Amino acid sequence: MDWKDPDMFELVNHGNKPFGVRVPSLVVSRGAGDAINFLTAMWFSPMGAEPSRMVVAILKRTLTYKLILERGEFVMSAPTDKMMDVVVFAGYISGRDVDKWQATGLTAVAPAKCTVPLIGEAIGNVEYRLVQVIPFGDEMDLFVGEVLATHMRKGCTEGELFRQDADPMLYMGTKYGEDGKALGKFYTHMGKIERAPYDDSPLLQKYLSRPKIKRKA
Ligand SMILES: Cc1cc2nc3c(=O)[nH]c(=O)nc-3n(C[C@H](O)[C@H](O)[C@H](O)COP(=O)(O)O)c2cc1C
């Protein structure tokens, strides 16, 4: 195979950054008592369709870790692009030190299926039941949540998609200067929405129109 030189790329020290533009989450938890808390999480991924699950890495040292294990439920809220201060705050301050609900003044909203509140200011909230805890190194575990109910802000979606004028936060992460000094956290806004070419993709159609090859499992 004729492999080209990687002239178009440069090696960078930014880990998974090509996948960096994402909606962050606020993971809401409630302990065995009434203590309610939330943290900012970026290490998560939706998995599968039926059942729809979420895998989120939670640091063992957080209050969230303890509270989710106590109740076996959690909520993940998607912030709007007006909520950057909340996202930064909840990612640095622990509920062990500060009552984050009180400090942010966020609105606790009644859930449909679980007993953990939704965040009223969010663009969407998903309720989960904790179905699995997967060990993932010394510092964190992967929490697997099964979707119990999904709440989208009225008027922000068309079918199952965000509308073009919706305002989910598209978080990009921390920017570092030449000297490695952090220059702040950055985010962007939703742009133009375009339909993906399935029916009229010449490449896909060419292969779909071929007779199917039977494969052994
Ligand atoms: C942008 C960002 C993303 C983060 N992602 C995660 C994450 O996915 N999982 C996690 O456990 N902590 C994550 N953290 C750290 C927690 O939000 C932080 O430790 C928080 O203060 C813990 O709060 P708690 O003790 O009230 O639960 C992240 C922090 C920031 C700033």
Q: Name the residue ranges covered by the structural domains of the chain.
A: 18-188
67 lines ligand 1 (CB under 6 A): no
Whole-model pTM?
0.94
Assigned CATH class of 18-188: mainly beta
Least trusted range by pLDDT, from 11-20, 32-41, 81-90, 149-158? 11-20
Instruction: Please check the confidence at residue 213 and state whether its pLDDT lies above 80.
Output: no
What contacts 96, CB < 8 A, 6 or more positions away? 63
186 lines ligand 1 (CB under 6 A): no
Instruction: Please check the confidence at residue 73 and state whether its pLDDT lies above 80.
Output: yes
Ligand 1 atom 17: the closest Cα is on which residue?
Answer: 91
Task: Give the Å distance between the CA of 20 and the centre of ligand 1.
Answer: 16
